Amino acid sequence: MRGASVSLTGLEKSYGRVMAVAGVSLDIRSGEFLTLLGPSGSGKTTTLMMIAGFQTPSAGDISIDGASVVAMPPYRRNIGMVFQNYALFPHLTVCENIGFPLKQRGVPKDERARLVGEALELVHLPDYGGRYPRQLSGGQQQRVAVARAIVFKPRLLLMDEPLGALDKQLRENLQLEMRRLHAELGVTCILVTHDQDEALTMSDRIAVMNDGKVAQIGSPEDLYDRPSNRFVAGFIGQSNFLPGVVCGAENGIVVAKCEGVLVRAMTSLRPAIGTKVTLTIRPERLRFADRVVEAGPTVNRMGVIVTEAVFAGERCRYLLKADDGTSLVLKEASSAAVRRRAVGQRTAIAWSVADTILV
């Protein structure tokens, strides 16, 4: 099956004076798994509902495989939909729930039974066809909801927080299952979530939304390692922020003075000398300087005081304070062989210039 391509052009949705979606333009490739990620009120769910046809855009266009669908009712768009609350019919069996969209399309009974059986195999529930939703766990109900969404072989699958009601371990297992399904089916998937780990795990690309706009779009690696602005750096994962003033540039690397300490950072911008900037570093990229072998212009260093030390199983988390009062977080893998730092200890940290981004 070849997934559908989707294009959003200047998409807007307003409710009176409130602009829920403010000019979103996106091209989603055939067979791609794209996630709309953002906080509550960012416009991600409204965007998904407009693609599904459940809401009408105030302006802009939505096209699927090059044809506009703005004026097309939802049932004619041939889109699979998975909701957070499963939306299963309680009075129907699993087979009847999955077969419902086929029945609505007039598919003969024998063909329905074959397609339902295939869908149950895909979601690893081959022996559950005769059960009712109340007899299933939350994870099993969500698998049935996915089976119902794909049984009629749509080329586009929309998912609105599909794993939000599940516990952490089950959610993580189903993330991998849905990645497997996506690879097997070749369908284009658009997922809405506010869970950054879910987005990073499942997506080919992520569109981070804020205030009804796309703040940045890219692969999970791009967004995590090279955020283009402070919102993205702060929303995806945890970040440290260092305020500074540009004092020069060398070989494409900006040099900023952060309260007397020179810090080098990667950037595609060319800020003028004297410009106030913000640098960001991920906590797990920081190291205590006595554990860093490298030195020279490829490594930044800074003196700090340990103000908090927390053992969190596989990691130790340290809250540090720089000489100018800026708070920083450092995370390192815990080990019985690694000496832990004491609160109040003065030490130094070091990190790669390549891991320092100007936002």
Percent residues over pLDDT 90 in the chain: 69
Please count the other Cβ atoms lying within 10 Å of the Cβ belonging to residue 310.
Answer: 10
Helices marked H in the chain — which ranges?
44-52, 94-104, 109-122, 138-150, 168-185, 196-202, 220-225, 230-235
Can you give the pLDDT at residue 293?
Answer: 61
266 and 163 within one domain: no
pLDDT band at 163 (very low <50, low <70, confident <90, very high): confident
Residue 250 pairs in a beta bridge with 253
> Count of domains in the chain?
2
Count of all residues that appear for the chain in the document:
359
pLDDT in tens, 184-210: 889 999 999 999 989 999 999 999 999
Compute the distance between CA of residue 163 and CA of residue 23 in angstroms, rounded to an integer.
28
Are 324 and 295 within 8 A, CB to CB? no
pLDDT at 49 over 90: yes
Shared-domain flag, residues 191 and 322: no
Token couple for 356: 């320092």
pLDDT in tens, 213-247: 999 999 999 999 999 999 999 999 899 999 999 99
Are 170 and 136 within 8 A, CB to CB?
Answer: no
Q: Is residue 1 part of a domain?
A: no
* DSSP code string of 218-286: E-HHHHHHS-SSHHHHHHSS--EEEEEEEEEEETTEEEEEETTEEEEEE-SS-PPTT-EEEEEE-GGG-
Structural domain containing residue 276:
238-358
Label residue 154 by pLDDT band (50, 70, 90): very high
pLDDT at 295: 64
Which residue in this structure is represented by tokens 């096209």? 63
Residue 357 has pLDDT above 80, yes or no: yes
User: Cα-Cα-Cα-Cα dihedral of 138, 144, 147, 148, to 10°?
Assistant: -120
pLDDT at 164 over 80: no
Q: Are residues 277 and 262 in the same domain?
A: yes
195 and 275 together in one domain? no
Residues 225 and 251 in one domain: no
At 24 the pLDDT is: 96
Per-residue pLDDT for 317 more than 80? yes
> Where is the domain boundary, 217, 233, 249?
233
For the chain, the average pLDDT equals 90
| Amino acid 336: pLDDT | 67
258 and 206 within one domain: no
Is 203 among the domain residues?
yes
